[in-house]
Structure 1
Amino acid sequence: MTPPAVSEGEAWATVSAMEKSAGPAPAGPVPQYPIESVDNALKILLLMGERSELRLTEVADYLGVASSTAHRLLAMLQYRGFVRQERRSKAYLPGTAMTAVAYSILQRFDVRQTVHPFLEELNRETTETVHMVVMDGATVRFIDAIESPRAVRVASRLGQSMPAHCTSSGKAMLAALSTEQLRRLYPEEELPGLTSRSIRSRAALEQEITGVRRRGYATSSEESEEGVASIAVAFPIERSGLRMAFNTAVPVGRLNRADVKRIGELMRTTVDRAAELLH
């Protein structure tokens, strides 16, 4: 269907309004038929990529529109699954459609191609199974893996999803959240677990995360699977645009305190170097 005629003056008036509103600098040529509502919806998605949650008033102020207009835009994004609204706080969070698109792009495009050599390096230096992990809400997904060459090893978890608080990778990424953000993600004090050693309360999780922030790496000992220990370091989200971490998984019987510190420091250095390529 032929689009309705738009005069040059009308088009430039719309473009002028778009350029004066909030948002990143345009990345392409001015469209022939600019649609401000579409532009505003895309700006909300870009803003969601920078923040862990959004409020209606924040979106309205950011776009320079009325709250009713911001609400309609958010309602449409929610309808298509790109955002979801937290029941208690009414804050808007990334929806399943957004994370599915990000994961699909990640599989093809591919942050993994850039950082996979660093995963290979960790595998060589530790001779243990290593993973690349991303976080989606309160869940982590293992999206890349290299198994240990040793006969006794932790099997790859590639493609698996687990509760974030039960894994070292999840705890490493949760440590980047504020206390308020963490409590919105875990509104209940009681937490589900995978083993008898899983963290079962939000208070215990907050205490654990305090240690993660101090050390710069997270650990897990039989919290997601019996016989498995792991160490993880998160990527700075401002570098990758994703909540992402490297993880080294080791049979619990051959990991002592000195090994944990050695691997943790090695992973911090490796992640720092890998993150430079994502800046």
Structure 2
Amino acid sequence: MHLATLVGTEIHHLDGIEATTHALRFGLRTGVRLSAHTTSAGKAMLAELPCDEVNARYGVALSGARGPELDIDLEKIHKGIEQTRLQRIGVNFEESEAGVAAFAVSLGVINGERAAFSIAMPFARYAQGDVDRFAAHLLAVAQETREALGDG
């Protein structure tokens, strides 16, 4: 499980806990920055933003020095955000890294930072029915976290 924040159009993995009970597992990504629109945590956090804020964030990214080399399709990003809103969790099937399946839920804003919890695993361990099970657990943990922080 990872804790991530949204900074512009990237997520920053702040901390994590690595499962040790599976021989085939996904390692920690603490300190790693990834494009928000390709990650489960990023999708979960972007889904809580109004469309104009999403457009503004990506407009800044596209106008920067690296803008021309970024693979950004705003229409596709908005479709993904809408799907995430419907599912209530962000999902990523090999979008951010080959061989990885990930699921995430936004925690909202904590101490001024938009945050999310995510879980990831090797795609080979993912089964079709896992989304509903993971969603239920992630949504419950997010609610418990909000209540513990007095924001529930």
TM exceeds 0.5? yes
**What is the alpha-carbon root mean square deviation over aligned residues?**
1.7
Deviation of 1:241 after TM superposition, in Å, equals: 3.3
| CA radius of gyration, larger in | 1
Deviation of 1:240 after TM superposition, in Å, equals: 4.9
Helix, strand or coil: the match of 2:16?
Answer: strand
Deviation of 1:191 after TM superposition, in Å, equals: 8.0
Say whether residues 1:175 and 2:47 are aligned partners: yes
Question: Contact 1:240–1:278 (CA<8 Å) still a contact in 2?
Answer: no
TM-score (ref. length: structure 1):
0.49
Picking from 99, 111, 115, the partner of 1:244 is 115
Say whether residues 1:204 and 2:72 are aligned partners: no
Deviation of 1:162 after TM superposition, in Å, equals: 1.1
| Shift in alpha-carbon separation, 1:274–1:245, aligned structure 2, 3 A | same
TM-score (ref. length: structure 2):
0.87
Q: Which consecutive residues of structure 2, in runs of 5 or more, have no partner in the other structure?
A: 63-67
Question: Contact 1:191–1:202 (CA<8 Å) still a contact in 2?
Answer: no
How far apart, in 2, do the equivalents of 1:231 and 1:191 lie? 27
More helix by share: 1
Deviation of 1:249 after TM superposition, in Å, equals: 0.3
Larger RCO (alpha carbons 8 Å, 6+ apart)? 2
Question: Which residue matches 1:223?
Answer: 95
How far apart, in 2, do the equivalents of 1:181 and 1:257 lie? 33
Question: Contact 2:44–2:84 (CA<8 Å) still a contact in 1?
Answer: yes
Question: Which residue matches 1:192?
Answer: 70
Say whether residues 1:254 and 2:132 are aligned partners: no
Where do residues 131-150 of structure 1 align in structure 2 (5 Å cutoff)? 131-149=2-20, 150=22
Say whether residues 1:151 and 2:23 are aligned partners: yes
Q: How many residues align?
A: 142
More strand by share: 2
Helix, strand or coil: the match of 1:257?
Answer: coil
Deviation of 1:257 after TM superposition, in Å, equals: 2.5
How far apart, in 2, do the equivalents of 1:270 and 1:172 lie? 14
Q: Which consecutive residues of structure 1, in runs of 5 or more, have no partner in the other structure?
A: 1-129, 194-199
Deviations 1:3-41 (A, max 9, x none): xxxxxxxxxxxxxxxxxxxxxxxxxxxxxxxxxxxxxxx
